[in-house]
Amino acid sequence: MTPTTQTTVGIGGAAESTDMVLNIGPQHPSTHGVLRLRLVLDGERIVRADPVVGYMHRGAEKLFEARDYRQIIMLANRHDWLSAFSNELGVVLAVERMLGMEVPERAVWTRTLLAELNRVLNHLMFLGSYPLELGGITPVFYAFREREVLQNVMEEVSGGRMHYMFNRVGGLKEDLPAGWTARARAAVSAVRSRMDVFDDLVLGNEIFRGRTRGVGALAPEAVHAYGVSGPIARASGVDLDLRRDEPYLAYGELQDTLKVVTRGEGDCLARFECLLEQTHNALDLADACLGRLAELPPGPINQRLPKVLKAPEGHTYAWTENPLGINGYYLVSKGEKTPYRLKLRSASYNNIQALTELLPGTLVADMVAILGSMFFVVGDIDK
Residue-wise pLDDT tens digits, 53-65: 888 888 899 999 9
pLDDT tens digits for 226-255?
Answer: 999 999 999 999 999 999 999 999 999 999
269/281 Cα distance (integer angstroms): 18
Q: CB of 220 within 8 A of CB of 237?
A: yes
Give me Rg for the CA atoms of the chain. Answer: 22
Q: CB of 333 within 8 A of CB of 311?
A: yes
pLDDT at 172: 95
Closest CA to 254 of 84, 87, 112, 66: 112
pLDDT at 215: 93
pLDDT at 30: 45
pLDDT at 226: 95
Within the chain, which residues score under 50 in pLDDT?
Answer: 12-15, 30
Q: CB of 160 within 8 A of CB of 255?
A: no
Task: Mention every residue, 6+ apart, whose C-beta is less than 8 A from residue 33.
Answer: 56, 377, 378, 379
DSSP annotation of 199 reads: I
Domains and CATH numbers, the chain: 20-52 (no CATH), 60-381 (1.10.645.10)
Q: CB of 227 within 8 A of CB of 240?
A: no
* In the chain, alpha helices (H): 60-64, 72-76, 84-99, 105-133, 138-158, 180-193, 196-197, 206-212, 220-226, 231-235, 242-245, 268-295, 347-353, 355-358, 364-372, 378-382
> Would residue 114 be called left, alpha or beta, if left means φ above 0 and alpha means ψ between -120 and 50 degrees?
alpha
Residue 312 three-state SS: coil
pLDDT at 18: 67
pLDDT at 35: 84
